[in-house]
Protein backbone atom coordinates (compact mmCIF):
# COMPACT_ATOMS: atom_id res chain seq x y z
CA UNK A 1 0.00 0.00 0.00
CA UNK A 2 1.15 3.52 -0.67
CA UNK A 3 1.40 6.53 1.57
CA UNK A 4 1.53 10.11 0.36
CA UNK A 5 3.67 12.46 2.47
CA UNK A 6 3.11 16.18 1.87
CA UNK A 7 5.20 18.84 3.59
CA UNK A 8 3.11 21.79 4.76
CA UNK A 9 4.10 25.46 4.90
CA UNK A 10 6.51 24.49 7.69
CA UNK A 11 8.28 21.58 5.95
CA UNK A 12 8.81 19.49 9.09
CA UNK A 13 5.03 19.30 9.61
CA UNK A 14 3.78 16.58 7.28
CA UNK A 15 0.33 15.57 6.06
CA UNK A 16 0.18 11.78 5.68
CA UNK A 17 -2.45 10.22 3.45
CA UNK A 18 -3.19 6.50 3.25
CA UNK A 19 -4.75 4.54 0.45
CA UNK A 20 -8.20 3.24 1.29
CA UNK A 21 -9.48 0.07 -0.38
CA UNK A 22 -13.25 -0.25 -0.35
CA UNK A 23 -15.65 -2.98 -1.44
CA UNK A 24 -19.08 -4.29 -0.46
CA UNK A 25 -17.73 -5.43 2.95
CA UNK A 26 -16.34 -2.05 3.97
CA UNK A 27 -12.77 -0.79 3.66
CA UNK A 28 -9.17 -1.54 4.57
CA UNK A 29 -6.24 0.82 4.97
CA UNK A 30 -2.74 0.68 6.38
CA UNK A 31 -2.13 3.57 8.76
CA UNK A 32 1.51 2.99 9.56
CA UNK A 33 4.44 1.10 8.11
CA UNK A 34 7.75 1.70 9.88
CA UNK A 35 10.04 1.47 6.85
CA UNK A 36 7.94 3.86 4.70
CA UNK A 37 7.71 6.43 7.49
CA UNK A 38 11.47 6.13 8.13
CA UNK A 39 12.18 6.75 4.43
CA UNK A 40 10.42 10.10 4.85
CA UNK A 41 12.32 10.94 8.06
CA UNK A 42 9.59 10.05 10.54
CA UNK A 43 11.59 7.58 12.56
CA UNK A 44 11.06 8.09 16.30
CA UNK A 45 9.41 5.20 18.14
CA UNK A 46 5.89 5.59 19.49
CA UNK A 47 5.96 5.50 23.31
CA UNK A 48 2.39 6.48 24.17
CA UNK A 49 -1.00 6.52 22.42
CA UNK A 50 -3.79 8.86 23.57
CA UNK A 51 -7.43 9.21 22.57
CA UNK A 52 -9.73 12.15 23.27
CA UNK A 53 -13.37 12.85 22.48
CA UNK A 54 -14.71 16.39 22.25
CA UNK A 55 -17.83 18.25 21.17
CA UNK A 56 -18.22 20.84 18.42
CA UNK A 57 -16.47 24.11 19.20
CA UNK A 58 -14.03 22.61 21.71
CA UNK A 59 -10.50 23.89 21.21
CA UNK A 60 -7.63 22.00 22.85
CA UNK A 61 -4.16 23.48 22.99
CA UNK A 62 -1.70 24.79 22.23
CA UNK A 63 0.28 22.14 24.14
CA UNK A 64 3.90 20.96 24.19
CA UNK A 65 6.44 19.39 26.52
CA UNK A 66 9.90 20.74 27.27
CA UNK A 67 13.08 18.77 26.62
CA UNK A 68 14.06 16.12 27.56
CA UNK A 69 10.40 15.04 27.31
CA UNK A 70 9.52 16.84 24.07
CA UNK A 71 6.89 14.91 22.12
CA UNK A 72 6.60 14.36 18.43
CA UNK A 73 3.11 13.27 17.39
CA UNK A 74 1.31 11.50 14.61
CA UNK A 75 -2.33 12.55 15.01
CA UNK A 76 -5.53 11.47 13.30
CA UNK A 77 -9.28 11.79 13.63
CA UNK A 78 -10.98 8.48 14.42
CA UNK A 79 -14.48 9.97 14.11
CA UNK A 80 -15.57 13.44 12.99
CA UNK A 81 -13.51 16.39 11.75
CA UNK A 82 -11.15 18.95 13.23
CA UNK A 83 -8.89 21.84 12.33
CA UNK A 84 -5.40 20.82 13.50
CA UNK A 85 -2.53 23.25 14.13
CA UNK A 86 1.21 23.00 14.79
CA UNK A 87 3.23 26.05 15.95
CA UNK A 88 7.01 26.08 15.52
CA UNK A 89 8.75 26.77 18.85
CA UNK A 90 12.32 26.05 17.73
CA UNK A 91 14.17 29.27 18.54
CA UNK A 92 16.71 28.96 15.70
CA UNK A 93 14.11 28.06 13.08
CA UNK A 94 13.20 30.48 10.30
CA UNK A 95 9.60 29.41 11.03
CA UNK A 96 9.70 30.23 14.76
CA UNK A 97 6.27 31.49 15.84
CA UNK A 98 4.64 30.43 12.56
CA UNK A 99 1.89 27.85 12.30
CA UNK A 100 0.70 25.25 9.84
CA UNK A 101 -2.81 23.84 9.92
CA UNK A 102 -5.05 21.39 8.11
CA UNK A 103 -8.55 20.02 8.33
CA UNK A 104 -8.49 16.35 9.26
CA UNK A 105 -11.52 14.10 8.72
CA UNK A 106 -12.10 10.51 9.71
CA UNK A 107 -13.48 9.69 6.24
CA UNK A 108 -10.22 10.29 4.40
CA UNK A 109 -7.87 8.77 7.04
CA UNK A 110 -5.39 11.66 6.80
CA UNK A 111 -2.87 12.09 9.59
CA UNK A 112 -0.54 14.89 10.60
CA UNK A 113 3.04 14.47 11.79
CA UNK A 114 4.16 17.14 14.26
CA UNK A 115 7.81 16.84 15.32
CA UNK A 116 9.35 17.70 18.66
CA UNK A 117 9.72 21.44 19.21
CA UNK A 118 6.17 22.31 18.16
CA UNK A 119 3.05 23.26 20.10
CA UNK A 120 -0.10 21.46 19.02
CA UNK A 121 -3.80 22.24 19.19
CA UNK A 122 -7.06 21.49 17.45
CA UNK A 123 -10.62 22.71 17.13
CA UNK A 124 -13.58 20.35 16.67
CA UNK A 125 -15.63 21.14 13.55
CA UNK A 126 -18.12 18.23 13.62
CA UNK A 127 -20.79 17.52 16.28
CA UNK A 128 -18.21 15.38 18.08
CA UNK A 129 -14.72 14.16 17.26
CA UNK A 130 -12.54 11.36 18.52
CA UNK A 131 -8.86 12.18 18.15
CA UNK A 132 -5.86 9.85 18.43
CA UNK A 133 -2.29 10.91 19.26
CA UNK A 134 0.71 8.63 18.75
CA UNK A 135 3.46 10.25 20.84
CA UNK A 136 7.23 9.78 20.68
CA UNK A 137 7.59 10.48 24.40
CA UNK A 138 5.51 9.72 27.48
CA UNK A 139 3.50 12.38 29.28
CA UNK A 140 5.50 14.28 31.89
CA UNK A 141 3.40 16.73 33.95
CA UNK A 142 6.46 18.67 35.15
CA UNK A 143 7.52 19.28 31.50
CA UNK A 144 4.06 20.16 30.21
CA UNK A 145 3.62 23.69 28.89
CA UNK A 146 1.28 25.61 26.62
CA UNK A 147 0.67 28.80 24.67
CA UNK A 148 -2.56 30.74 24.45
CA UNK A 149 -4.68 29.65 21.49
CA UNK A 150 -5.58 33.30 20.79
CA UNK A 151 -2.06 34.77 20.93
CA UNK A 152 -2.24 37.75 18.52
CA UNK A 153 1.37 37.19 17.42
CA UNK A 154 0.36 33.77 16.03
CA UNK A 155 -2.84 34.96 14.31
CA UNK A 156 -4.22 31.43 13.92
CA UNK A 157 -7.36 31.17 11.77
CA UNK A 158 -9.63 29.29 14.18
CA UNK A 159 -13.17 28.99 12.85
CA UNK A 160 -14.97 29.76 16.12
CA UNK A 161 -14.82 33.20 17.69
CA UNK A 162 -16.05 31.73 20.99
CA UNK A 163 -14.49 28.25 21.32
CA UNK A 164 -14.92 26.07 24.40
CA UNK A 165 -11.56 26.20 26.23
CA UNK A 166 -10.43 24.53 29.45
CA UNK A 167 -9.50 26.73 32.42
CA UNK A 168 -6.00 25.28 32.23
CA UNK A 169 -5.58 26.30 28.57
CA UNK A 170 -6.88 29.80 29.29
CA UNK A 171 -4.03 30.29 31.78
CA UNK A 172 -1.26 29.59 29.24
CA UNK A 173 1.03 32.55 28.44
CA UNK A 174 1.47 34.20 25.07
CA UNK A 175 4.45 32.99 23.03
CA UNK A 176 6.64 35.94 24.06
CA UNK A 177 6.35 34.85 27.71
CA UNK A 178 6.39 31.06 27.25
CA UNK A 179 9.11 28.78 28.59
CA UNK A 180 10.77 27.13 25.59
CA UNK A 181 13.96 25.06 25.44
CA UNK A 182 14.09 23.90 21.81
Neighbours of 92 (CB within 10 A): 7
Catalytic member of 64, 113, 120, 133: 133
**DSSP-assigned letters across all residues of 50-113:** EEEEEETTBEEEEEEE-TTS---EEEEEEESEEEEEEEE--TT-TTTT-EEEEEEEGGGT-EEE
Active site residue 21: no
Please pick, among 63, 64, 113, 172, the residue that the annotation labels catalytic: 63
Catalytic annotation on 64?
no
- Spatial separation of the C-alpha atoms in residues 81 and 165, rounded to whole Å: 18
- Which positions are annotated as active-site residues? 63, 133
Amino acid sequence: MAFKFTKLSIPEVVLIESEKYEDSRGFFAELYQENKFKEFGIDKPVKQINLSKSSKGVLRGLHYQLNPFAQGKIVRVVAGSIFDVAVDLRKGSRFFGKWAGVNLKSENLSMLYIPEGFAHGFEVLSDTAEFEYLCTQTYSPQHERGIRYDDPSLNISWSSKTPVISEKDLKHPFLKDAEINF
